[in-house]
Structure formats: C-alpha cells, structure tokens
C-alpha cells in the first residue's frame, strides 16, 4: 500500500516521510496517540485498510469497512497558541475538499465545523485529538476517514440517510492511493500556512464552501440544543449566529444540524 501511495506522492515538506500501513488496526488515531508518546517524528502517517474500532467525535464510532475508505492519522507538533491550534480542524476540512476536487473533479461543501458533504450527506469525518506527554510536549493527532468506494449497503441503516461515498456521488471508481497522496499533499500545504499564520485565503475558501450561511440551523452542544441563523464564519472559524432572542454570538465548540442536511428533522 505504501508504494502505491508514494508513486503519487511527490514532494511534501513535513508530512509523509514515515508512512505506516496496516491491513487491520483498532483505530489509526489510537495507534498514532501511542506513537506520540514514544517520540515518533512529526509528519508520521498511520494508514489502515480496515479499522475494527474506528472512533468519531462525541464518543461515536466511525464505520470503517475493509478496502472501502481512507482511514488515516497524521502526527503533528505545532508550537502555536491554543487559539491558532484550534483552527487546524476547520483547515483540515478544507484540505480534504481540495484533495477531493483535485482527484474526483467535484468540490464538497463544508458543514460547520469540519464535515465535508456532497449531495447533503457526509463523505468524511475528522477527529482531532491532543496528546500531552509527561514533559508537557503537545502532539496533535489529525484523524481523517473518507468514504471512497462504499455502496449504500456498506453503511448501516441508521447511517444511510446521512452518509455517502465518493463513488456513490461521482459515479466512477476512484483510486484510494491517488486520493491519499493528494490528501497528504494538501495537508502539508495547509500545515505550512498554519505555521506561517497565513490563513486569509483559507478563511475565504471556508466561507465559500460553508453550506449553511444564511440558513436556519440547530446548535447542538453540551448544554443542549438551540435554534439560530448562521450568519458568518470569523477569522478563526468560529460560527457567528443570530439567536432566536435576537442576540449575535460566536460559537466555537459543538455541532450543528441543518434542516434537510444529515436527515435531521427540526
């Protein structure tokens, strides 16, 4: 698998010098978190063809059928303020959209904060985790799962209304090694911009890709749910919303649901 990916991967600066490929693993994120504590080098990539315990946000599982998706984690050690660090999740969403557009010829939209969607269903999940070692050194584990070759029946009945694959949307067979290599290249570009603090163009792209600006949404957070209108995305990818009580605020954590998107009903 590594050779097939390297065939498409030309020059990256920081990501992909070490690529560890597994036929089967519990979760690439769990493995990468262990590596982070063992001093693995920045830019190490962990890829699996099948995850037996793929993990998603908010303690959900991530269905990872064998040979169908791209399941990978990247280990990064940025020395940045917490505020800048938090932007990496949204930036990763844009990097996925760039890679899909380059290889498949269609550009996904983004559902805040970082879900690439096509035809109103999710094609990718992103789970960012932080590991702090006993010396206080912070490692970021970027976990990305892209649905590439799945057919409808590869998704559980509960997921079918809200998940789709690139093959289902684009109607052609897509090369997973080629898309993986393009994704690593796009992540490398993104990481360079993050370290340089040169994010204006990325924020503009995010605003253009965001599928629900101007629309009614439901905010879902630890404190419960609330209706609001999505007004804008600020320079650190916070979602500016107009609440039902007329106040404007910026949301930085949680998720949203949109009428008709992801099958949620308000």
CA dihedral (82, 199, 43, 29) positive or negative: positive
CB of 113 to ligand BTN, least distance (A): 11
Helix (H, G, I), strand (E, B) or coil at 107: coil
Sorted by sequence, the CB contacts under 8 Å of residue 13 that are 6+ apart come out as 188, 192
Residue 57 is a binding residue for ligand BTN (CB under 6 A): yes
How many residues in the shown chain lie near ligand BTN by CB under 6 A? 19
Asked if 113 touches ligand BTN (CB under 6 A), the answer is no
Closest approach, Cβ 234 to ligand BTN, in A, equals: 23
Q: Which of 5, 35, 36, 54 binds ligand BTN (CB under 6 A)?
A: 54
**Least distance in angstroms from the C-beta of 96 to ligand BTN:** 11
Tally of residues, the chain: 266
Strands 45-48 and 69-76: antiparallel
Query: Residue of minimal CB distance from ligand BTN?
Result: 125
Single out the residue of 12, 44, 63, 73 in contact with ligand BTN (rule: CB under 6 A).
Answer: 73
Told to check if 125 binds ligand BTN by CB under 6 A, we report yes
Residue whose pair of structure tokens reads 């949404």 in the numeric block: 217
The 135-154 site mask, x for binding ligand BTN (CB under 6 A), equals --------xxx---------
Characterize the bridge pairing of strands 239-243 and 248-251. antiparallel
CB of 144 to ligand BTN, least distance (A): 6
Strands 19-22 and 45-48: parallel
Read off the tokens for 50: 């099948």
Binding of ligand BTN by 111 (CB under 6 A): no
What is the chain's percent helix, strand, coil content, to nearest 5?
A: 30, 30, 40
Neighbours of 226 (CB within 10 A): 16
Single out the segment in contact with ligand BTN by CB under 6 A; choices: 37-45, 50-58, 153-161, 235-243: 50-58
Q: Where along the sequence are the contacts to ligand BTN (CB under 6 A)?
A: 27-29, 51, 54-57, 60, 62, 71-73, 125-127, 143-145
């Amino acid at each position: 698998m590594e050779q097939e990916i390297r065939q498409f991967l030309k020059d990256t600066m920081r990501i992909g010098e070490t690529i560890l490929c597994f036929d089967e693993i519990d979760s690439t994120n769990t493995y990468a978190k262990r590596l982070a504590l063992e001093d693995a080098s920045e830019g190490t990539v962990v890829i699996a063809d099948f995850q037996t315990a793929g993990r998603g946000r908010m303690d959900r599982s991530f269905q990872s059928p064998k040979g169908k998706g791209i399941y990978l984690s990247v280990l990064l050690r940025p020395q940045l303020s917490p505020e800048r660090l938090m932007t990496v999740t949204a930036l990763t969403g844009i990097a996925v959209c760039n890679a899909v557009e380059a290889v498949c010829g269609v550009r996904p939209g983004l559902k805040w904060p970082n879900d690439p969607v096509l035809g109103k269903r999710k094609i990718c999940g992103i789970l960012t985790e932080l590991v702090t070692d006993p010396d206080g050194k912070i490692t970021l584990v970027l976990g990305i799962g892209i649905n590439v070759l799945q057919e409808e029946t590869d998704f559980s009945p509960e997921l079918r209304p809200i998940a789709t694959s690139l093959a289902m949307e684009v109607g052609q067979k897509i090369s997973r090694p080629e898309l993986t290599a393009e994704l690593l290249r796009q992540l490398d570009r993104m990481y360079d911009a993050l370290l340089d603090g040169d994010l204006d163009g990325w924020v503009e792209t995010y605003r253009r890709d965001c599928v629900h600006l101007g629309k009614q949404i439901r905010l879902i957070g630890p404190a419960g749910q609330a209706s609001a209108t999505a007004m804008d995305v600020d320079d650190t990818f916070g979602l500016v919303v107009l609440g039902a009580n007329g106040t404007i605020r910026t949301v930085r954590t949680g998720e949203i649901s949109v009428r008709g998107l992801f099958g949620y009903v308000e």
